[in-house]
Structure 1
Amino acid sequence: MKSALREIVPVAALAAGGVLTFAVPASAATTVTFDCQADAPVVGPQQLTLTQNADVTAPATVAPGGTLDVVVDPAANAVPAEVSGYQVKEIKDFALKIPVPANSTFVGADLTGGSGLGSTPPEITVSGGVATLAFPGPIAGGASFELPTVTVHLTAGSAGTIETKLAGTSYDDPGLTFTAVVNQLVDISAPTACFPSPSPVFTTTTVG
């Protein structure tokens, strides 16, 4: 399952951290690896690994109380047509959790572009200090898609740093969830929970 499923994760919305000062911006091509468990009926839990690439750009410095932006530009991706002998019918109900970084305040987020994500566009909501990027899909098996570019607006806190990363530490505390629908005589829905392993720091902005 590992190699077959490695391209299905829409991790573009990695978000949070950055700036609007006259600093030299930092830019990084980032690959996130997710450790996932699909709760498949009859056959039981299935472990798999998923990856997604994105270019993450943020400023190097920001003044205390200053406004900041971070831009996440996800790479194009594709849903596999088949996994371990199972036909992939569709992938749906994506939700990616992004903690609002310590030493910053979430102001808002803009989504631009994106394709192949279904009729309902992605949205970002914030609750309890966590921003969630979500969309229902579905995306058909074998189809190509690209998540929108995400620009997250923050206000810097006091002197120190602002680090950006994803949520999730275990299957019970996931940072990414979705449902895979596969077919082998009948449709099987497998709710899937993932966490980044390892969990990289995407950007570090110095406040001061």
Structure 2
Amino acid sequence: MPGPLLYRPPPRWQFWAALGGAIAIHLASVGIAAIKHEPPPVDLTNIPTATVEATLQPEDQPTPPPEDIPIPEPPPIPEVAPEFHEEKPPPPKNVAKPAGPIKAPQAGVPGTMSITGAKAVAIYAPKPEYPYEAKSRHVTGSGVAVLSVDTASGTVTDATMAQSIGSPILDNATTSTFRRWRFQAGKVAPKVKVPITYTLTGASY
């Protein structure tokens, strides 16, 4: 009866030899494939060449300057003697002179006017007030005042006592009041005579 069979592994060099052969075969096949796919070389000898002809244009010649044409001189202008025309001055215009202020005619009433006539043409004629000082002393009396009037305007220019009342207080009160009187222009005499009396009740004329 035969004995049992024992397994013996192959030696290692056979394994490595088989592996190296497989790798060599693979590399050879890859190289052959690369050689088959390489494109053929291009032949450059049969490419036609193009000839470029360049034509040079002639340079522009400079334009000759224009010839100087003599310009004829203009004929001389004849001198014309200036004509003098004597201008006559215009006749003077008659300028009307401004008229001076027209003076009002003098009053048609000459001389001296009485108080009765003066009252008729009076515009402003206040009555003299009885001064308190004279009234407290019971000073009374009568007198005559004369008014100087500008007949053109009717304004009293002055007032004086032709006959004194007898008291300077009453005389001054009378003349100061009569100087403020006013009359219608042209209707009053240059002088107005006004008799006046002072009593304890006041002045009257």
Provide TM-score, normalisation by structure 2.
Answer: 0.22
- Which structure has greater strand proportion? 1
Larger of the two Rg values belongs to structure:
2
Provide TM-score, normalisation by structure 1.
Answer: 0.22
